[in-house]
Amino acid sequence: MKGGVIQQLDAPQTIYNRPVNRFVAGFLGSPAMNFIDGRLEKDGGDWHFAVEDVRIPLATYAFEKEPAPGPAVFGIRPEHVAFNSGTGWPFAATANVEVVEPMGSDTLVWLKLGGQNFTVRVTSERTPKNGDPVSVGFDPMRASLFDAQTGNRI
């Protein structure tokens, strides 16, 4: 609920994996979903999300309806990001570790992606150090895209 209005009523897994808006996406999960502000763009026939020098291909993303180019927010949960697992993902990038936060059963690794804060959840056995270069990868089908103005799922 937000302001006395139910935002989404569905099965817990549906709400977690396909939140209807940015509020719901940020409300569920610990740590919260990563949000990156950028632009939805179409190059040829292919959609991608762009921010600074990062281009995330969206071929596997299930759009709610035909999108329009423009400001958007890309969201992905820290546990849906692969850490130092190679380049076999639809999207992969390298970044330097900024903060390592041991949590007991797992560790949160903070870095920058497209110049913005980005968190990855890894097992507690993985202990990168600040400044270490690491690779991250994910499949955008696990992501959520939101309209930058309305906050609604795209």
pTM over 0.95: no
Task: Render pLDDT for 79-91 as a digit per residue (tens, 0 to 9).
Answer: 999 999 777 899 9
Please report the pLDDT score of residue 86 as a whole number.
73
Please report the pLDDT score of residue 3 as a whole number.
87
On the question of pLDDT at 56 being above 90, the answer is yes
Please report the pLDDT score of residue 88 as a whole number.
86
Parse the chain into domains and list their residue ranges: 12-147
Mean pLDDT for the stretch of residues 118-137 = 93
Please report the pLDDT score of residue 126 as a whole number.
81
CATH architecture for residues 12-147: Beta Barrel (2.40)
The 8 Å CB, 24+ separation contacts for 123-127 are 126/83, 126/84, 127/100, 127/102
The b-or-e profile of 55-94 (16+ CB within 10 A means b, else e) is: bbebeebeeeeebeeeebbbbbbbebbbbbeeeebebebe
